[in-house]
Amino acid sequence: MSHVRDQPATGVLDDLDLYRRIYRQMLLIRGFEDLVQSLFLAGEVYGTTHLYSGQEAIATGVASVLEERDRVAATYRGHGHALALGVDPQKLLDEMLGRTSGVNGGRAGSMNVNSPDDRLIGSFGIVGGSIAAATGAALALGRTTGGVAVAYFGDGAMNQGYVFECLNFSQVFKLPLVLVCENNGYGEYTPYRSVTAGEICARVEVMGVPAETIDGMSVWTVRESAERAVAHARAGDGPVFVEALTYRFVGHSRSDPGAYRPDGELDRWRARDPIVVLRAQLEAEGVDAADLDEAEREMSVQLEQMRERGLAAPFPAELTAREFKD
């Protein structure tokens, strides 16, 4: 299947209250990532960071159709996945700052956040590791709660052998698994077309797994696709694969200026910024621009308060840190 679309027809946002909430959620993710980057540059965030800026529509759109019984496995670029699921943004920021008040006590950092109470079973630094974790979760969920497991991963994971082992296993046993490939065009610094033969969805369809390519910069398109995928998986019909075409507005990680990008490429993708596009659609549907401006102001205040609280939070005890280091 193929389903790539840039803009919906007027009237497609049939639940404006929902899309207002989605807009705020996307603002939170973008603002959070900007805050993390500024704190990192100020020397307050330790280790590495992988930001989700530009990809907000995917995590937000998928999370909007999930239920409490569902579970998610994220990538090392997982801040957006966590926030979309409802992880407390203050606790997540405190985790980035290595504070005891962090969601994992300041020990997970940027790449390894997990929050089972928020349905997040882990963020995985191993490329494609989320797929194996979600496959195991799907096996358990299918036998117990009837929940669905979602795995996020990048295009680079499609060249890992165990991805296809998990696909085969989940299809044979009809596991309730939704696989979301966030294809942002690059595996670290390498264009995916330089290292990936053929089409990604074609690799999946040979196993009989339904697959579609969608516009990952369009939150309503992501949400529609996720509704279909989750319904298929929850009905006991096996896994579904979604390739969401997207773009990261920042480098791969903290030390990457993105100099390898062709001239003009970033500008072309920024013209399709999912937050800007959603705002334009909301206004076209009759939402007052002043209301959206107020949402942005409120988010700025919230983020500044988070910064102050996070920097004031305590670090783990010195002895514990020394023991960990040794």
* Residue reference for tokens 């983020």: 303
Q: What is the mean pLDDT of residues 191-199?
A: 84
CB atoms within 10 A of CB 16: 12
What region, left, alpha or beta, does residue 244 occupy, with left being phi > 0 and alpha being psi -120 to 50 degrees?
beta
Q: Is residue 11 part of a domain?
A: no
Considering the entire predicted model, what is its pTM? 0.91
Q: Is residue 107 part of a domain?
A: yes
Cα separation, 74 vs 92, whole angstroms: 14
* Residue reference for tokens 């089409």: 199
> Can you give the pLDDT at residue 323?
53
* Residue reference for tokens 């205040």: 301
- The backbone torsions φ and ψ at residue 103, rounded to the nearest 5 degrees and listed phi first, read -60, -25
Cα separation, 211 vs 55, whole angstroms: 20
> Looking at the predicted structure, is the pLDDT value of residue 237 above 60?
yes
Q: What is the mean pLDDT of residues 238-264?
A: 84
Cα separation, 38 vs 125, whole angstroms: 22
Q: Tell whether the torsion through CA atoms of 283, 14, 57 and 155 is positive or negative.
A: negative
In contact, 106 and 100? CB cutoff 8 Å: yes
> Looking at the predicted structure, is the pLDDT value of residue 100 above 80?
yes
Residues 296-311 have pLDDT tens digits of 999 999 999 999 999 9
CATH number of residue 217's parent domain: 3.40.50.970
CA-based angle 180:182:187, to the nearest 5?
Answer: 130
Q: Which domain holds residue 297?
A: 16-325
Q: Is residue 2 part of a domain?
A: no
Cα separation, 185 vs 190, whole angstroms: 8
- Alpha-helical (H) ranges within the chain are 16-41, 56-63, 79-85, 89-96, 129-143, 161-172, 200-205, 219-234, 265-270, 274-284, 289-312, 318-325
What is the full DSSP assignment across 34-55? HHHHHHHHTT-S-S-----TT-
> Looking at the predicted structure, is the pLDDT value of residue 111 above 80?
yes
Counting DSSP H helices and E strands in the chain, the numbers are 12, 8
Q: How far is the CA of 212 from the CAs of 139, 181, 228, 244, in angstroms?
A: 23, 10, 11, 8
Q: Is residue 262 part of a domain?
A: yes
Q: Is residue 290 part of a domain?
A: yes
Kindly give the pairing relationship between strand 186-187 and strand 190-191. Answer: antiparallel
Q: How many residues make up the chain in this entry?
A: 326
Domain count, the chain: 1
Q: Is residue 7 part of a domain?
A: no
Q: Is residue 9 part of a domain?
A: no
Structure tokens at 291: 């209301």
In contact, 249 and 219? CB cutoff 8 Å: no
Average pLDDT of every residue of the chain: 91
Residues 267-294 have pLDDT tens digits of 899 999 999 999 999 999 999 999 999 9
> Can you give the pLDDT at residue 251?
66
Q: Is residue 6 part of a domain?
A: no
Residues 144-170 have pLDDT tens digits of 999 999 999 999 899 888 899 999 999
> Can you give the pLDDT at residue 10?
45
Q: What is the mean pLDDT of residues 230-238?
A: 98
Q: How far is the CA of 30 from the CAs of 63, 80, 111, 204, 248, in angstroms?
A: 16, 8, 17, 31, 11
